[in-house]
Structure 1
Amino acid sequence: MGNWEGLNEFVAVAETGSFTDAARKLGISTAQVSRQVKALESRLSTRLFYRTTRRVSLTEVGQVYYQHCRQLLEGLADAERAVTDLQQAPRGRLRLTAPVTYGETTLAPLVHDFALRYPELQVEMALTNQKLDLVAEGFDLAVRLGKLDDSSMMARRLASRTLYVCASPDYLSTYGEPRSLAELARHNCLLGTLDYWRFREQGRAKNIRISGSIRCNSGRALVDAALKGMGIVQLPDYYVDEALQSGRLVSLLEPYREQDDGIWGIYPHNRHLSPKVRMLLDYLGTHLGK
């Protein structure tokens, strides 16, 4: 054990205030505890405890040494738990929440594949566009899109998403293609929940206020309107990728495209992440990043 020898005994005496109680806590003899502490003091060339017939208390040096030893032993315990967790299969209930469309089209299939690997795992998914309170409502994990605003949670970036501005070839043949942000003012822009679209101009983020004849809080509905030539739309990649690849939609204003957003795994601030959550995050990070 080298320099680790005697640390458990020293910490036990410091915390119980008794060699006898420390021995009972460690399941060894009082003589062994005393011997190890004396050897430690000899190695350090200092006294760690004041000893009387009634009580044992830390010296000033002993108090400083105890604080460091406590952290070392806690770190060792964390390391041992991490190794043990790596050998454990996920089991029990795992509750997660995610936005509706992204959850339906992208996340749920991956979570189902993960659950098939571990039959002892019971998964509960709540797909909602509301930001639920993970702690109050008992969720292990949330998948969130875009910029984060909750600093009380731990966050892990799983992937990125790209915002596209696009329109159908029919719309562009009738109304022309906008070449600058200013030209959006003369186009019919299909609105979601916001009155502006996000861009980047000369290295800076820029929001452009837009207007149009259609407003809807469903990305799928806005895609349908865009495919029918009703206007221009700005939506994340998972709504429009297929239509862009098939040519049914055309990407516009690419020099002004906003930087990619994050796709995040959010979980309560725990010192030690459970194996089921950690392994699902690893799985999602691997597959969403492809």
Structure 2
Amino acid sequence: MHHWEAVEAFVEVMKQGSFSAAADRLKVSPSHVSRLVAKLESSLGVPLLYRTTRKLRPSQAGQRYYEQCRRLLEGLVSAEHAISAEAHEAVGPLKVTCATTFGERFIAPVLNELMLQHPRLSLDLHLTNRRVDLIEEGYDLAVRMGAMDDSSMLSRRLCDRREYLCASPAYLERFGMPHVLSELAHHRCLTGSRTRWLFQREGQRYEIRPEASWRSNSGPAQLDAVRRGLGIAQLPDYYVEPDLASGRLVSLLDQYRYPFSGVWLIYPRSRQRSRRLQLLCDALLARFADQVPWREAI
């Protein structure tokens, strides 16, 4: 509004009952307040105040205008306080997305604990293996696996992640142990959402697209199939490290294992000053700081 300052001056004059008292509140001169009100009256085309040597009184139009402008100013102050509270306190909504199994097992418990500590937060947790558009779909935070390749977003590394090629002892007893990558073409391969397996040896990167005899977009279903001896699969550490430690599964071709990839906290640049997002990131980083959760029971 082009005469917002004048509206604020008029409302303060009405509240205080004089130009001088309003000027003290606004920390300007009485003449400046008088000019602002006169300019407002000229713009509206009606008198708002009747001035006498003893006091001011509003016109009928001035009284109606005051009531409406007072509510507007009070609403503005209330809105500013609400936004300030969201920026500096743990108040308001959080919308988070993560891969399904990782989110169910390791992210949701941290978020739920945060909700208990800060009951003025509200949470929308969307678990999906689809790569969502954070800006378009209004997310505050995504937990993503692999390489960080989106320079338009801010990121913080949550933890490292390994990928293991593995099979059950029963499968290996029946079909034998592969010793080089080329031998995988003669084995039963189980794939998930990703159709390629990544390897590296002596700095050389290898990519294999196995001919799958079994495929599912569910990591737990793929793990169950490997445990039952249906074939060989490449799965992340949080699925298989407990089974590898117990001997239920066997790690294969370790000399070709791909180096660590990351798990990342990804958020839009516009969200970086949010107090609630800061609390969420700090809670997740603290949970993963010393040891990743899936290794605690090993």
TM-score by length of 1: 0.67
CA shift digits 1:216-238 (9 cap, x unpaired): 12111111111110101101112
Contact 2:114 2:283 in 1 (8 A): yes
Measured after TM superposition, the shift of residue 288 of structure 1 is: 2.3
Matched, 1:127 2:142: no
Shift of 1:271: 7.7
CA contact (8 A) 1:161 1:262 kept: yes
Contact in 1 for aligned 2:271/2:277 (Cα 8 Å): no
RMSD: 2.3
The match for 1:186 is: 186
Please identify, of 203-212 and 214-223, the stretch whose mean Cα deviation from structure 2 is larger.
203-212
Say yes or no: does 1:249 pair with 2:223.
no
Counterpart position of 1:175? 175
Cα deviation code 1:120-140 (max 9, x no counterpart): 211110111122222222211
Match of residue 102 from structure 1 = 102
Residue 267 of structure 1: aligned partner: 267
CA positional deviation for 1:88: 4.9
Shift, 1:99, TM fit:
1.1
- Secondary structure of 2:137's aligned partner: coil
From the superposition, tell whether residues 97 and 229 of structure 1 become closer, same or farther in structure 2 (CA, over 3 Å): same
Once the two structures are TM-superposed, the CA of residue 150 in structure 1 deviates from its matched residue by 2.2
**Cα distance in 2 between the residues matched to 1:140 and 1:271:** 7
1:196 positional shift: 2.3
Aligned to 2:236: 236
Q: Following the alignment from structure 1 to structure 2, what is the Cα–Cα distance between the partners of residues 151 and 143?
A: 16
Residues 164 and 236 in structure 1, CA contact (< 8 A), matched pair in contact too: yes
Amino acid at match of 2:122: Q
Alignment of 1:1-290 (within 5 A): 27=27, 88-270=88-270, 272-289=272-289, 290=291
Number of equivalenced pairs: 211
Shift of 1:28: 7.6
Q: Is the 8 A contact 1:89 1:118 kept in 2?
A: no
In structure 1, C-alpha distance between the alignment counterparts of 2:27 and 2:181, rounded to whole Å: 74
- AA aligned opposite 1:275: R
CA distance in 2, matches of 1:210, 1:271: 41
Q: Is the 8 A contact 2:164 2:234 kept in 1?
A: yes
Q: Could you give the per-residue CA deviations for residues 73-117 of structure 1, whole angstroms, max 9, x where no partner exists?
A: xxxxxxxxxxx99x9542211111111111111111111122222
Distance 2:239 2:137 in 1: 29
The higher radius of gyration belongs to 2
Quote the offset at 1:180 in angstroms.
Answer: 1.6
Q: Secondary structure at the match of 1:143?
A: strand
Name the TM-score, length of structure 2 as normaliser.
Answer: 0.65
Query: Does the 8 A contact of 1:193 with 1:216 survive in 2?
Result: yes
Paired residues of 1:197 and 1:210 also in contact (CA < 8 A):
yes
Alpha-carbon spacing, 1:267–1:222, altered in 2? closer, same or farther (3 Å): same
Unaligned runs of 5+ in 1: 1-23, 30-83
What is the one-letter code of the residue matched to 1:268?
P
C-alpha displacement of 1:27: 4.7
Displacement after TM superposition at 1:277 (Å): 0.6
* Change in 2 beyond 3 A, CA 1:166/1:130: same
Residues 189 and 213 in structure 2, CA contact (< 8 A), matched pair in contact too: yes
Amino acid at match of 2:285: G
Q: Secondary structure at the match of 1:285?
A: helix
Over 3 Å counting, the alpha-carbon distance change for 1:130 and 1:209 in structure 2 is closer
Query: How big is the shift at 1:142?
Result: 0.9
User: Letter of the aligned partner of 2:115 in structure 1?
Assistant: A
Q: Distance in 2 between matches of 1:27 and 1:96?
A: 45
Give the letter for the 1:163 counterpart. Answer: E
Instruction: Return the alpha-carbon distance in structure 2 between the equivalents of residues 144 and 194 of structure 1.
Output: 15
Q: CA–CA distance in 2 between the matches of 1:138 and 1:196?
A: 31
Q: How far, CA to CA, are the matches of 2:271 and 2:104 in structure 1?
A: 31
Q: Which amino acid in 2 is paired with 1:236?
A: P
